[in-house]
Structure 1
Amino acid sequence: MNYKLLPFTFSRISSKEVLVNELGDMMAVPKGTVNAMVTHSIDTKSELYKSLVANFFLTENTIPALIDIYAERLVEKKRFMDDGTSLHIFVLTLRCNQNCIYCQASSQDECCHHKSMTFETMEHSVDLMFKSPSNWLTMEFQGGEPSLEPRLLRYGIELAEEKNKTEHRNMRYVLCTNSINLTDEVLNICKSYNVLISTSLDGPSWLHNKNRGKADSYERVVKGIDKARSVLGHAQVAALMTTSELALDYPEDIVDEYVNLSFSSIFLRALNPYGLASENSNWDTYTARFIAFYKQAFEHILFINKQGTLLIEEFAAIILRKMLTPWCTGFVDLQSPAGIVNSVLVYNYDGYLYASDESRMLAEQGDFSFRIGPVTESYENLIYSKKVREWSNVWSNELLAGCSDCGVRAYCGADPVRNHTTQDDKYGYRPTSLLCKKNKAIIEYLISLIIERKDEVMPIFKTWLQ
């Protein structure tokens, strides 16, 4: 039969050829299958052939019989592009009450008041946020330490609530805090407006204190977490960690700490090359060690889940959602077209709009490459500016050399900001990209688990995606 090939990529993982089509559907097939498909020597009466046709890898017609379903599913994967920017980050201040050894935000001493957003900037920023066509708007308050500016926090939320009386958007509020300064005033704001607390915990007390540069940081963070849970409810407090160089040797201890504190999820987050973290002595070594750290921690997480305790690894859950469900994800780092502008905008304390959280971090190092413009400018002039249009040439991994033919491209994203930061080139060069190396290693590791240990891991993964 004269069949035709539909677009797909492939890689060799765990003695299999893993095929991935444009929808993110994956098939693990015997070695030699791709060659047989391309040379038209595959047995067209075999079950393998029927599966390849049914899963949109081959078609017996020039226009596949179910092309409408294929098209609708592809649209769903890219739905975020039509929805408009939904995540809006408000950097209230660079003031901070900790001294993290890896600080990526170039935080300042908490007495440094000239590094805070003005109320006028907040007004313009909220007005700009509502220009986004998205029906779902998340206001995420960051710093520094945003809880040091409770009046500004309340003012921003109240402005949004008042404006939403006529806009009728679905609003969500997130406070990213180290939980050191969760005063009654701050928690009252959070309770009044159903604000989610996103805190950070790097592991056991000795590790957390070392990372934060404070001898009592762990004690105060746990106290803040407990207080927030008692006021807001257990489900309103989430946490993530940052893997310092010191943390790389203690994956299981870190995971156990999250279990001990009754968290149901953990985000194993690598260092990013911004702020103090950019001074890491050897990024090649760190990346290799982080991949090993991630796998060891993940195996421990699987063990904990098999013992009956739910613990979701959030980065894996995002990848698995792209891999095992028909839906797109809101995680900006793994989107194509890239999440910058399309899914996230940052309203910085300095009165300017930035393309992403990392973009405003670059600005603190004197690099304004991804500063879009002042928040007083019109939405159209900002979002459709010449600068943003130039970024759009390099923000789709389907069009980038080294990405377009990657076997796991459908589960990854494009990141011109990181490319610019580490390679001085927004287009980027995949063979030497450490972000590419890390993401690809983790994605292929998850695929290998599904291939080799399907009966063991799939029940756990399905629970994570509910």
Structure 2
Amino acid sequence: MAGFAPPDSFRSDASALQLFPIRFERIGTDRFLVGNMVGDMEEMTATELDRLCALDLTPGDGLYERSFEKLFIGTVDQRARQQLLALRLRSRLSFLRAATPLHLFVVTLRCEHVCPYCQVSRQSQDRVRYDMDQATASKAIDIALSSPSPLIKIEFQGGEPLLNFELIRWIVVTAKQRAEPLGKQLQFVITTNLALLDDAVLDFCGEHGVLFSTSLDGPRDLHNKNRPRRGQNSYELAVAGIGRIQERLGPDWVGALMTTTEASLNRVEEIVDEYVRQGLDGMFLRPLSPYGHAIKTKQFHKYDGQEWLQFWKRGLRYILEINKSGRRFPEFYSALMLRRMLSDEPIGYVDLRSPAGIGLGALVYNYDGTVFASDEARMLAEMGDRRFELGNVREHRYRDLVLSDTLVSAVAESLTQTAPQCSTCVFEPNCGADPVYHHATQGDLLGIKPLSEFCERQKGVITHLFELLEHSPEDAAVLRMWAS
């Protein structure tokens, strides 16, 4: 009977190990967050990190197994683990194969609300010269259907899009006719405050599968303060509209977004309760953006990144407790981040992409035919800064727009994979590039990262979610469900 080999013969030779690219950041006195190039992360002490970097690892010591699992190390004579890293990275970047799936049609700048944080330069209801016309819309449809994505989502923006609903009708019908011979699938969404919702709109949208996205900032007094209109009844009209859509078309036909203002900071539980009360399927705890009236009225400067993070953490805690009671109700930004952290599935949210999502993830067709790289770029242009203007529907084709010097240079300059401070940041694989934000706030496409509230928020969100996943099993179960 043959004997067994001694245990030492099964031990790996430390010299045969190699360290793969890693990044790390201190998150406590003796706590480091260590990550690889595809976003896997592990918490280590300073001693463990030193041992990892020195390849002072032995099978059975725990750190060896954790490092292998997270693709921090491999063996010199086997390429399978490097190939796995490459395959996972390719999967995370596969959104590039189906460029520009989202197309935003700004059918009017007119609006009957006067929100102080409005991100665009709205116009009064009587100024119809700020409406998109049919000829402009026709050209925009052709550009949208020229993008390589097999699924095209057309979103109607404003102003208040329902003030130009006849054009929306024409775009939906015409786009469907033109998409059919091309084999393209279409989705439609109207972003509206619902104040002008009527049976004709509901009938048409029900027939053609047009979904609704609206704004709901919280309880009556908060919503009406944030989103004033003549009659002080924006809340009443919004919730009535949500109810009508849910009753006539179904609960999945309408979603809502809130915007965090200074008045919202101490009321997150009330805001969440309002969403639950209205039968909505989740919510997005969204910060203000530095564009349009949010700058003119100084709303953007009334709280900072840390104050928003505390608001978000408090809201997330409250939402997690709702989920533990048996109701599925995700916080949508957390769900996006969790999908990024826990899978290699590409996501559509343009702020979490590098190369940047501007142009490659979405194009915006303004009412006058001007094409912008993102909705934020359009908002920036309304403030007089046309840095991200790509062209015009009357003069340019899809290829001209996405290969324009303006877009190519913006995307190239904002690549987080090669950017100073981003390229060595543990959060980079799960973060994204937002050149429009950094240009708006710092006058630089890349941005000075230590001074960036975008970075501050991203680091805070990712760190908090990681700690919940690692140290709170009940919370982790809910968070993993959101990511699935």
TM-score (norm 1): 0.96
Relative to 1, partners in 2 of residues 1:48 and 1:381: Cα closer, same or farther, differing over 3 Å? same
> 1:409: how far off?
1.3
- Which residue in the other structure is 1:94 paired with? 109
2:389 equivalent to 1:371:
yes
Q: After superposition, give the CA deviation of every residue in 1:352-411 in whole Å (9 maximum; x if it has no partner).
A: 110000000011111111000011212222211122221122231111112111121111
| Matches for 1:135-284 after TM superposition, within 5 Å | 135-214=150-229, 215-279=232-296, 280=298, 283=301
- Which residue in the other structure is 1:122 paired with? 137
Higher mean C-alpha deviation, range 40-49 or range 88-97: 40-49
Task: Write the distance in 1 (CA, Å) between the matches of 2:355 and 2:165.
Answer: 35
SS in 1 for 2:417: helix
Task: Write the distance in 2 (CA, Å) between the matches of 1:43 and 1:284.
Answer: 53
Task: Write the distance in 2 (CA, Å) between the matches of 1:446 and 1:50.
Answer: 23
Relative to 1, partners in 2 of residues 1:282 and 1:352: Cα closer, same or farther, differing over 3 Å? closer
Task: Write the distance in 2 (CA, Å) between the matches of 1:182 and 1:223.
Answer: 9
SS in 2 for 1:321: helix
Q: After superposition, give the CA deviation of every residue in 1:168-224 in whole Å (9 maximum; x if it has no partner).
A: 112111111111111222212211111111111000000000011131111111111
SS in 2 for 1:96: coil
Note if contact 2:102-2:362 (Cα within 8 Å) is conserved in structure 1: yes
> 1:123: how far off?
0.3
2:461 equivalent to 1:447:
no
Task: Write the distance in 1 (CA, Å) between the matches of 2:245 and 2:212.
Answer: 8
> 1:62: how far off?
5.8
- Which residue in the other structure is 2:6 paired with? none
2:23 equivalent to 1:9:
yes
Which of residues 397, 404, 409 in structure 2 aligns to 1:390?
409
SS in 2 for 1:138: strand
- Which residue in the other structure is 2:346 paired with? 328
Counterpart amino acid of residue 90 in structure 1: F
Q: After superposition, give the CA deviation of every residue in 1:135-183 in whole Å (9 maximum; x if it has no partner).
A: 1110011111111111110111112100111111121111111111112
> 1:45: how far off?
4.4
SS in 2 for 1:362: helix
> 1:39: how far off?
2.0
Relative to 1, partners in 2 of residues 1:72 and 1:237: Cα closer, same or farther, differing over 3 Å? same
Higher mean C-alpha deviation, range 422-431 or range 313-322: 422-431
Which of residues 438, 443, 465 in structure 2 aligns to 1:419?
438
Task: Write the distance in 2 (CA, Å) between the matches of 1:460 and 1:16.
Answer: 25
Note if contact 2:243-2:278 (Cα within 8 Å) is conserved in structure 1: no
Higher mean C-alpha deviation, range 177-186 or range 9-18: 9-18
Task: Write the distance in 1 (CA, Å) between the matches of 2:77 and 2:134.
Answer: 59
- Which residue in the other structure is 2:332 paired with? 314
Relative to 1, partners in 2 of residues 1:202 and 1:285: Cα closer, same or farther, differing over 3 Å? closer
Counterpart amino acid of residue 155 in structure 1: W
> 1:278: how far off?
1.5
Task: Write the distance in 1 (CA, Å) between the matches of 2:339 and 2:306.
Answer: 25
> 1:24: how far off?
1.7
Counterpart amino acid of residue 198 in structure 1: S
Note if contact 2:59-2:65 (Cα within 8 Å) is conserved in structure 1: yes
Relative to 1, partners in 2 of residues 1:117 and 1:63: Cα closer, same or farther, differing over 3 Å? farther
2:86 equivalent to 1:68:
no
SS in 1 for 2:108: coil
- Which residue in the other structure is 2:478 paired with? 460
Note if contact 1:10-1:19 (Cα within 8 Å) is conserved in structure 2: yes
Counterpart amino acid of residue 332 in structure 2: E
Counterpart amino acid of residue 389 in structure 1: V
Counterpart amino acid of residue 320 in structure 1: L
- Which residue in the other structure is 1:353 paired with? 371
Q: After superposition, give the CA deviation of every residue in 1:279-305 in whole Å (9 maximum; x if it has no partner).
A: 426738432211111111111111111
- Which residue in the other structure is 1:337 paired with? 355
Q: After superposition, give the CA deviation of every residue in 1:327-367 in whole Å (9 maximum; x if it has no partner).
A: 11110111111110111111111211100000000111111
> C-alpha root-mean-square deviation of aligned residues, in Å?
1.6
Task: Write the distance in 2 (CA, Å) between the matches of 1:386 and 1:103.
Answer: 30
SS in 2 for 1:74: helix
- Which residue in the other structure is 1:399 paired with? 418
Q: How many residues were matched structurally?
A: 465
Task: Write the distance in 2 (CA, Å) between the matches of 1:418 and 1:55.
Answer: 32
Task: Write the distance in 2 (CA, Å) between the matches of 1:24 and 1:171.
Answer: 32
Counterpart amino acid of residue 366 in structure 2: N
- Which residue in the other structure is 1:437 paired with? 456
Higher mean C-alpha deviation, range 404-413 or range 28-37: 28-37
TM-score (norm 2): 0.93
- Which residue in the other structure is 2:10 paired with? none
Q: After superposition, give the CA deviation of every residue in 1:103-141 in whole Å (9 maximum; x if it has no partner).
A: 001211122111111111100000001110011110011
Higher mean C-alpha deviation, range 265-274 or range 211-220: 211-220
Task: Write the distance in 1 (CA, Å) between the matches of 2:338 and 2:172.
Answer: 33
Q: After superposition, give the CA deviation of every residue in 1:249-297 in whole Å (9 maximum; x if it has no partner).
A: 2111101111111112000000000011114267384322111111111
Unaligned 5+ residue runs, structure 2?
Answer: 1-13
Which of residues 303, 317, 321 in structure 2 aligns to 1:299?
317
Task: Write the distance in 1 (CA, Å) between the matches of 2:334 and 2:325.
Answer: 19
Counterpart amino acid of residue 242 in structure 1: T
